[in-house]
Structure 1
Amino acid sequence: MEKSDLSHHILSRYNDDLERVRTNVLEMGGFVEEQLKQAVAALVEGDSRLGEQVARGDAQVNAMEVAIDDDCSRILATRNPAASDLRLIVAVIKTITDLERIGDEAEKIGYIGSRLATVERPADRYREIKNLGRLVGEMLHEALDAFARLDPEGAVQVARKDRLIDEEYEALQRQCITFMMEDPRTIRRALDVLWVARALERIGDHAKNVCEYVVYMVHGKDIRHLSVDEVERHLRTRTQSGDEAASS
């Protein structure tokens, strides 16, 4: 094999390694997304068996995180990636940490849903939790889609939805406090609902983090301490600079 052929072969294997890592992250994200969906369903539908199944699934989420982290460590040690490839590895390591924590929150919801299935359900059948779970699920799905497409502009739009989730959580929090004050017999269940709402709000935060990693991966810009408006202005400036450079 000639030196040029060997270099091409090595490069091809390196690209395969990077693509496999990205694919595995999306697979982990899809599994976590399903865990969230089933955890909320377990609570809303009063399905204790489904709630326990979700809780047991957290072990698989943990195993996925460890496997992807090992792959990233191997690539860093053997390939010495630079520039955009290094940003990809860093973003992947951060993303799987957030996905693992989403799995932890889904496990928590699963356990609570399993326990609440044994008590009488409220007349509204946890309507507010179902609505909040839907919003959070959509945000997580769109964040993973932005990661798959390497779409920083789309990621910023998804990150904007975190404010809406925070508002829904705060409204649900006020409602639960009102129920507890009006009828002390509802305190235990209201506290469980608050724990579920808090877990969902945290999942929204983790989805927002994934969006931030997409911007970092594509543009090399750490936006964790910037407002969404500031990030949008930064992206517009980069786009305009790129257009001007291309036309000159």
Structure 2
Amino acid sequence: MPNSKDDVYGDHISHKFNDELMELKTEFLKMGGVVESQVEQAIQALMDSDGQLAEQVRARDKDVDQMERGLDEEATLIIARRQPTARDLRLVVSVIKMVADLERVGDEAKKIAKLALKLAEEGQAPRGYVEVRHIGNHVLGMLHDALDAFARLDSEQALRIMKEDKWVDEEYQAAARTLLTFMMEDTRNISRCMSVMWVLRALERVGDHACNIAENVIFMVKGEDVRHTPMEEAEKVVGR
């Protein structure tokens, strides 16, 4: 059974504390939605050579930074005012860590938007766009599922996201090899193909941050840190 039914973050004597924790979760998910949209629009701007959309993505980065500061402040105030016990402290500390990951995803989206503008001016690269779409869809799915796992406190879904990170790494490496081969065959395409390579690298990093969020969900639910542990150990933690 998924762990969504085990949401114990919301049964405090103080209704005010319940409200504060719920607000923290809500604001985090709102930031996640903004960042997810940033990545999706950055990819679309690249595929369509849409400079205006790329500029919108870059401008939205200020909103993400502001949301990060607001959530950090809110989490810090909860710790100072409520002195939460271990269970609640895991939630608050995990949110602080996951907010940092979301902010970095926003940074990656801004990089993609910047490269989309560069390629729109130079002319589309002759190769790599199919790979961008494929890997982009994959990491967007991971990010969406990581946010959903957080919302439902579903450690089993979080574990599935962790497993997908390996597949994204393999997809990125295969795409990079294809582009390198093409650049060696025709050096006139090096500059534009390198821009696509950096886009693929940014998308691979988005997948890494989605994986980090998933690891923190498992920590929230199970109380054990699965970072830097073999997948077999993470599976045992989730299965307990």
* TM-score (norm: length of structure 1): 0.89
Is the contact between residue 90 and residue 223 of structure 2 (CA under 8 Å) also seen in structure 1?
Answer: yes
Structure 1 portions without partners, runs of 5+ = 1-7, 239-248
Residue of structure 2 in register with 1:182 after alignment = 185
* Counterpart residue type for residue 171 of structure 2: E
- CA separation of 1:227 and 1:112: change in aligned 2, threshold 3 A: same
Residue of structure 1 in register with 2:49 after alignment = 46
RMSD: 1.5
Q: Distance in 1 between matches of 2:12 and 2:182?
A: 66
Is the contact between residue 44 and residue 125 of structure 1 (CA under 8 Å) also seen in structure 2?
Answer: no
Q: Distance in 2 between matches of 1:168 and 1:228?
A: 19
Residue of structure 2 in register with 1:77 after alignment = 80
* Counterpart residue type for residue 211 of structure 2: K
Is the contact between residue 57 and residue 113 of structure 2 (CA under 8 Å) also seen in structure 1?
Answer: yes
Is the contact between residue 36 and residue 143 of structure 2 (CA under 8 Å) also seen in structure 1?
Answer: yes
Once the two structures are aligned, what percentage of the paired residues are identical? 48
Structure 2 portions without partners, runs of 5+ = 1-10
Q: Distance in 1 between matches of 2:145 and 2:238?
A: 19
1:190-216 deviations in Å (ceiling 9; x for gaps): 110111110000110000000000010
Residue of structure 2 in register with 1:88 after alignment = 91
1:221 aligns with one of 216, 224, 228: 224
Q: Secondary structure at the match of 1:118?
A: helix
Q: Distance in 2 between matches of 1:193 and 1:125?
A: 6
Q: Distance in 1 between matches of 2:187 and 2:129?
A: 18
1:34-87 deviations in Å (ceiling 9; x for gaps): 000000000011101111110111111100000000001111111110121100
Is the contact between residue 50 and residue 114 of structure 1 (CA under 8 Å) also seen in structure 2?
Answer: no
Residue of structure 2 in register with 1:142 after alignment = 145
Structure 1 moving runs of 4+ over 3 Å? 122-125
* Counterpart residue type for residue 87 of structure 1: R
Residue of structure 2 in register with 1:163 after alignment = 166
Q: Secondary structure at the match of 2:121?
A: coil
Is the contact between residue 98 and residue 216 of structure 2 (CA under 8 Å) also seen in structure 1?
Answer: yes
* TM-score (norm: length of structure 2): 0.92
Residue of structure 1 in register with 2:205 after alignment = 202
